[in-house]
């Protein structure tokens, strides 16, 4: 069964875009997943196919009309797929969400432009509002591409034995350990000795310690959650 992605967008040419290349592109050619871009302009009003209007209450920019967006959504066979709306106002998109989407039949992604979409159609459609980070993009298409890329690489048969989703960042609540390859000496810098030793247990131990060090330094939020999960939470013992 093909994993089906649908993008509702005013810029259908942006799909598959970068997803037509490399790992996702090969999976697309092999029929592991598909992507259909639906042009919301086709549901626009009048001869000029208007899709947006000024915000009630005033303010800058334009808002996508609920009737136009609803007509575009109504024309799609969701077939059990979640409707996802990328927006900086959404809850943070997590690897757990990606795993959930990848495990289902696919996703429908509503890509906003201008200042965003009228709130009522988001409510009425039950769209999941997700943010890919605390910065503002010029539209939802790039965020949709990020979401789809993260899903596609998890689909069965996409990653070969050479690429693994088991030992990567977030799989165990930690950031991944640093990676090294040949040459063993480069520009006066050595690869950590233990990685050249061939001692698998010692390597695993070094990698775990390195993961913990980098997570503690760069992501105190992940580190705090990891401490709780592994029962090493000392924050409450005082």
Q: How far apart are CA 83 and CA 89, in angstroms?
A: 16
CA dihedral 76, 107, 131, 159 (to 10 degrees): -150
Residue 212 DSSP label: H
CB 228 within 8 A of CB 235: no
**Closer Cβ to ligand ADE, 133 or 220, answer by number:** 133
Q: How far apart are CA 60 and CA 86, in angstroms?
A: 20
- Pick one of 12, 25, 55, 88: the residue that binds ligand ADE (CB under 6 A): 88
- Pick one of 5, 109, 127, 132: the residue that binds ligand ADE (CB under 6 A): 132
**Closer Cβ to ligand ADE, 88 or 192, answer by number:** 88
- Pick one of 83, 143, 150, 151: the residue that binds ligand ADE (CB under 6 A): 143
- Pick one of 137, 191, 194, 210: the residue that binds ligand ADE (CB under 6 A): 137
87 makes contact with ligand ADE (CB under 6 A):
yes
**Closer Cβ to ligand ADE, 100 or 199, answer by number:** 100
Nearest approach, Cβ of residue 61 and ligand ADE (Å): 13
- For the chain, what is the radius of gyration of the CA atoms? 22
CB 8 within 8 A of CB 73: yes
136 makes contact with ligand ADE (CB under 6 A):
yes
133 makes contact with ligand ADE (CB under 6 A):
yes
- Pick one of 83, 140, 151, 177: the residue that binds ligand ADE (CB under 6 A): 140
- Pick one of 16, 44, 86, 106: the residue that binds ligand ADE (CB under 6 A): 86
Q: Which of 49, 39, 23, 44 is nearest to 76 (CA)?
A: 39
Residue for token pair 């979640």: 82
135 makes contact with ligand ADE (CB under 6 A):
yes
Burial of 39 (0-12, 13-18, 19+ CB in 10 A): middle
Instruction: By CB under 6 A, name the binding residues for ligand ADE.
Output: 86-88, 131-133, 135-137, 140, 143
């Amino acid at each position: 069964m093909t994993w089906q992605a649908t993008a509702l967008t005013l810029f259908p040419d942006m799909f598959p875009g970068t997803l037509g290349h490399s790992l996702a592109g090969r999976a697309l050619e092999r029929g592991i997943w598909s992507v259909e871009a639906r042009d919301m302009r086709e549901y626009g009003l009048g001869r000029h196919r208007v899709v947006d209007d000024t915000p009630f209450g005033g303010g800058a920019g334009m808002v996508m009309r609920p009737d136009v967006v609803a007509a575009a959504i109504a024309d799609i066979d969701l077939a059990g797929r979640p409707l996802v709306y990328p927006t900086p106002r959404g809850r943070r998109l997590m690897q757990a969400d990606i795993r959930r989407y990848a495990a289902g039949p696919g996703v429908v992604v509503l890509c906003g432009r201008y200042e965003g979409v009228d709130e009522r159609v988001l409510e009425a459609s039950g769209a999941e509002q997700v943010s890919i980070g605390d910065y503002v993009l010029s539209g939802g298409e790039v965020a949709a591409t990020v979401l789809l890329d993260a899903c596609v690489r998890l689909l069965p048969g996409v990653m070969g034995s050479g690429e693994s989703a088991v030992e990567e960042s977030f799989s165990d609540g930690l950031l991944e350990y640093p990676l090294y390859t040949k040459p063993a000496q480069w520009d006066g810098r050595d690869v950590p000795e233990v990685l050249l030793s061939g001692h698998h247990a010692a390597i695993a131990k070094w990698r775990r310690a390195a993961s913990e060090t980098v997570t503690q330094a760069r992501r105190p939020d992940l580190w705090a959650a990891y401490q709780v999960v592994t029962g090493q939470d000392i924050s409450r013992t005082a």
